Amino acid sequence: MKHLLSTLALKELEEGKAYYNLQKVTWGDEFEETIRNSIEEIFKVPYLYPVIAAPVYRKVISRFPYNVFIA
């Protein structure tokens, strides 16, 4: 399923991917995949994630120092 990301979120995703690709070639793709999978997970089972402020959910990404917020 496709989900709409804000311009700022897309920019941050692209910047994160570029940063991790500088660290190691495959990390950028892994970062993007991790973030996109996390977005899907939140939409599929939002009740598994804490509500920060209704209706904003948060998932902490353990592999990378990022949080995903979905409203």
pTM: 0.88
- 1 domain-assigned: no
Residue 55: cis peptide before it, omega within 30 degrees of 0: yes
Is 29 within 8 Å of 23 (Cβ atoms)?
no
Helix axes 7-23, 27-44, angle to 10 degrees: 140
Residue 64: name the closest of 5, 23, 11, 10 by CA. Answer: 23
- 2 domain-assigned: no
Reported as a single tens digit per residue, the pLDDT across 6-52 is: 999 999 999 999 999 999 999 999 999 999 999 999 999 999 999 99
Total number of domains constituting the chain: 1
- 20 domain-assigned: yes
- 54 domain-assigned: yes
pLDDT over 70 (residue 1): no
C-alpha–C-alpha distance, residues 37 and 22, integer Å: 22
Structural domain range at position 11:
7-70
- 51 domain-assigned: yes
